[in-house]
Amino acid sequence: MISVLAGGVGAARFLRGLCLAVDPARVVAVVNTGDDTELHGLSISPDIDTVIYTLANAIDPERGWGLRDETWRAMASLERFTDVRPAGSRAAPTWFNLGDQDLATHFYRTARLQEGASLTEVTDEIRRSFELLVNVIPMTDDRVRTLVTIAECDSPVSGETISFQEYFVRHRHSLPVASVTFDGALTATLNPRARLHDSERIIIAPSNPIVSIGPLRALAGVDDLLRARRNAVVAISPIVAGAALKGPADRMLRELGMEPTVVGVARLYSEVCGTLIIDTRDAHLASAVEAEGLRCLVTDTIMSDPNVARDLAALTLT
């Protein structure tokens, strides 16, 4: 098996390439669930859905999340309640966009969880409904939630601790971050189907090291497992030329006192990972990465089309 530690968009694009390079049935995507949220009484797992929709070629290619050819009539109808909602009520929030077709996934997941199914079982059912062969599993069946503490700033939530989706979507990841924590991680159990102890390769996808890979590494015992398999662990830097390809990873690294470069990524991963793959734009930093104690490979990591992703995936297996 090949285990891939995965966040959302970057991981999904990488997995699409990996499934072109090897038999998808050999791949297990171990997906971050720290981003999960509950809205309208629905259980929403954004990274799991991004991975499944991308692999099924059903993702909206521009947004990178949600389904293509989506309509938004349910969201538009929620606006009706804006003026009548009592102060303090959290009913019918409209800051998190759930498309009409996407809602079906959340209805199904919520109903199955309420029937007592585990998130692993439901995720597998959703995966099968999209006729995918690749194994997609939540990192854990336990509840883990990424919380973001906002630094002092000119915002009503200055100094407050808010959920990841409030930070990311509601405040458009524009507020300065003082710290990130993973509520529930210490007592959560890594999904046993992750196969970290015996998979032939463990790949850390090009996902945000703090809020996508961070929750996985925070689960009890995961860093120990990775450390023990360090030579089999390969990471792809999500930072290229000092910037994140998508999302706030570069700003977040800086705000948390880390270097927003491939060298900063190397420092974060060096304990648990033997090889770091960096983009050709960062080739001049390869020796600085190696000085952190990792083997460094240089290639095109910007997955503008599936063939680039396939070649990148093939390199992770060498």
Residue numbers of the site for ligand FO1 (CB under 6 A)?
7-8, 35, 44, 46-47, 49-50, 65-66, 96-98, 102, 165, 168-169
| Cβ proximity to ligand FO1, 97 vs 101, nearer residue | 97
Name the nearest CA neighbour of 11 among 251, 249, 275: 249
| Cβ proximity to ligand FO1, 97 vs 161, nearer residue | 97
| Nearest approach, Cβ of residue 207 and ligand FO1 (Å) | 8
| Cβ proximity to ligand FO1, 98 vs 139, nearer residue | 98
> CB neighbours of 70 closer than 8 A, spacing ≥ 6?
60, 99, 100, 101, 102
DSSP bridge partners of 39? 42
What are the Cα distances from residue 286, in Å, to 155, 241, 289, 290, 298? 40, 12, 5, 6, 8
Which residue has the closest beta carbon to ligand FO1?
A: 8
Max Cα separation, the chain? 61
| Nearest approach, Cβ of residue 297 and ligand FO1 (Å) | 25
| Nearest approach, Cβ of residue 228 and ligand FO1 (Å) | 28
| Nearest approach, Cβ of residue 194 and ligand FO1 (Å) | 19
| Nearest approach, Cβ of residue 248 and ligand FO1 (Å) | 10
Q: How many CA atoms lie within 13 A of 89 on its CB side?
A: 12
Contact, 28 vs 137, CB < 8 A?
yes
> CB neighbours of 179 closer than 8 A, spacing ≥ 6?
148, 149, 256
| Cβ proximity to ligand FO1, 98 vs 210, nearer residue | 98
| Nearest approach, Cβ of residue 75 and ligand FO1 (Å) | 9
| Nearest approach, Cβ of residue 229 and ligand FO1 (Å) | 25
User: H or E stretch including 298?
Assistant: strand 295-299
> CB neighbours of 172 closer than 8 A, spacing ≥ 6?
none
Q: Write the DSSP string, 178-235.
A: EEEEEETGGG----GGG-TTT-SEEEE-SS-TTTTHHHHHHSTTHHHHHHHTGGGEEE
| Cβ proximity to ligand FO1, 109 vs 229, nearer residue | 109
| Cβ proximity to ligand FO1, 97 vs 149, nearer residue | 97
| Cβ proximity to ligand FO1, 44 vs 298, nearer residue | 44
